[in-house]
Amino acid sequence: MQPALRRAFGVARLTRHHQALPFRASRSGSPPTLLDRWGARTLLDVASGVPLRLVLWDGSTWERTAAPEFTLRIASRHALWRLLRDPDLGFGEGYTDGSIEIDGNVHRLVDAVASALQRTRLPWHRLARRVTHRVGAGLDAARRNARHHYDLGNDFYRLWLDENLVYTCAWFPTPAASLETAQQQKMERVCRKVHLTPGLRVVEAGCGWGALACHMAREHQTTVRAWNVSHEQVVEARRRAAAQGLEGRVTFIEDDWRRIDEPCDVFVSVGMLEHVGPARYAELGAVIDRVLDRGHGRGLLHFIGRDHEAPSSRWTRRYIFPGNYLPTLREVVGRVLEPYGFSVLDVENLRRHYTLTLEHWRDRFERAAPEVTRQLGERFTRMWRYYLAGAHAGFAAGYLQLFQVTFAREGWDSAPWTRPV
């Protein structure tokens, strides 16, 4: 494991836990008290509707349904109460460090729990959901946050993403289409939504490994300037553009979106808004307004969102995406677009396409899991398994959305007469 990775995930520190924790309590802890047993029953109440059996550290068993599909083994009092206090953080940390084990499919369990939580919630979880954490990162923090996730090593992402390393929601013409096809079609559809024509100047904010930037230049003869703060991604994106002979037409800039300053005809951002934070939405709108052509300028924002304001899960923010915030459509329209007089032309919610995308990623990840563990350790594999399971559960249950918002300067008249399917 690379030192940067160890730092990013605090692996040195957590490895200690990892060695110490799993089922240690089952060997040395005191047996469950009356309060622990109340806690176990409460957990089953929260997850009512999920065919679940709990096994506590003394081997005692709790269940509400006959022949439950899932067995959750909780190895310590600490793991039980961490789970009760904050199910998301507690489950994520417990599953990652091995103090929670599952007999059965973790992806299916997380889906089932998420779906049940849509219906019942403990009062303190509802309260927690109301407290919206306003996150917004300074330039340094933004760079750190992005590197935490995207500098994990291209080798890692190559193990389970498609060949073009597209790490955002795909668009499946039919549910049976391959992930490769669906990512190609997603990119082409983005191009059609903003009506790319040869010679246009495109700015892309947050470009990943450059697949969309290369597609826009190669398939639509545009000139693309694509921004990204992740060094590893920019290096790989440049390599890929060069391999396609696109050096003259695609430029990758390793810098923050706030420094975008060149005029453009089209502004595209796919999967970056999640990292911007609501405190910076007005600034993002100002950047777009500053660079976008006043007559025919148009753009597209593609982002994971919500139906109502809520903080991202604490576990996700702590371990996967520091600084992550998923906005509502109202927040993006009201703070990024409306203050600058942009017209919203089209909004599409691709939630179910993201559920399917995540199923592909999950299957590929599980096939690559032995190799991921060899490269990055068991703890990392479990953490990412839980992350992918949680994301899938959110889209499947319906509390995460994927919005594609197409916008333009007021009065832009040159789009095709009807929209893409």
What residues line the site for its own copies (CB under 8 A)?
118, 172-175, 307-308, 328-330, 333-334, 338-339, 341-349, 351-352, 397-399, 401, 403, 410-413, 417-421
Cα distances (angstroms) measured from residue 176 to each of 94, 163, 172, 402: 35, 18, 8, 20
Q: Which is nearer to its own copies, 11 or 190 (CB)?
A: 190
From the CB of 351, what's the least distance to its own copies, in Å? 7
Of 138 and 339, which CB lies nearer to its own copies in the complex structure?
A: 339
Query: Of the two residues 365 and 399, which places its CB atom closer to its own copies in the complex?
Result: 399
Query: What is the closest distance, in whole angstroms, from the C-beta atom of residue 22 to its own copies in the complex?
Result: 35
Q: Hey, what are 278's tokens?
A: 């609501």
Spatial separation of the C-alpha atoms in residues 18 and 165, rounded to whole Å: 31
Q: Name which of 59 and 411 has its Cβ closer to its own copies.
A: 411
Which pair of tokens denotes residue 68?
A: 């439950």
Compute the least distance from the CB of residue 281 to its own copies, in Å: 12
Residue closer to its own copies, measured from CB, 376 or 391: 391
Residues 6+ apart with CB under 8 A from 252: 207, 210, 213, 226, 227, 228, 234, 237, 238, 241
- Minimum CB distance to its own copies, residue 419 (Å): 7
Tell me how far, at minimum, the Cβ of 175 lies from its own copies, in Å.
6
- Minimum CB separation from its own copies for residue 289, in Å? 13
Our CB check for its own copies shows the closer of 145 and 183 to be 183
For 157, other C-beta atoms within 10 Å of its C-beta total: 17
CB of 346 to its own copies, least distance (A): 6
Cβ closest to its own copies, residue 183 vs residue 228: 183
